[in-house]
Structure 1
């Protein structure tokens, strides 16, 4: 923010919001899909319990649980944190980024 100024801060927020939102949705849906795939196989489909498909589904469920329970919601918190930090430091960025840009010979408008 202090080096790239307001446009840099806005770009960081826009990029963080768009990628964080899409990644959180992907992780939540993928984790739920892997969990439901294991439950579906346990009903007797694709060989049922003990089959190779079930072993693969257990591995998928092991990977999917952290996706849907921790990683997806944590990205939502990260998006909120980035917004709050940018609001807190907005005054500092507006006041000092032109001076820092002059010192570093970076022309940001």
Structure 2
């Protein structure tokens, strides 16, 4: 008879971890994208002005390369995963 409790625990863990991960990925992806754009416009760090082609810009491009999939695909797709797991769990719950 522990099946229902275990399924409930699984859903609670997946939901809490999934929501936090989706929020992180969406926000981090947007921040990395905005950081690259800010550097391209020109930014002063410790009295030195940086722009396109500088070392901070190269790091920003790498961050943007990771950030674009985060904000466009990974973060939003976790919402679909959470819904799918809930529906599958409801179907399995009738068999327990």
Compute the TM-score of the two structures, normalised by the length of structure 2: 0.91
The structure whose Rg is larger is 1
RMSD in angstroms over aligned alpha carbons?
A: 1.2
After TM superposition, the runs of 4+ consecutive aligned structure 1 residues lying more than 4 A away are: none
For 1:21 and 1:40, the matched residues in 2 are separated by: 28
Residue aligned with 2:94, SS = helix
Unpaired stretches in structure 1, ≥5 consecutive residues: 94-109
Match of 1:103 in 2: none
Match of 1:81 in 2: 84
Per the TM alignment, residue 60 of structure 1 is displaced from its structure 2 partner at its CA by 0.3
Match of 1:40 in 2: 38
Number of positions where the alignment pairs a residue of Structure 1 with one of Structure 2: 91
Residue aligned with 1:76, SS = helix
Compute the TM-score of the two structures, normalised by the length of structure 1: 0.80
Q: How does 1:1-109 map to 2 (within 5 A)?
A: 4-46=2-44, 47-93=50-96
Q: Give the 3 Å change call, closer, same or farther, for CA 67–12 of structure 1 in structure 2.
A: same
For 1:87 and 1:26, the matched residues in 2 are separated by: 27
Residue aligned with 1:92, SS = coil
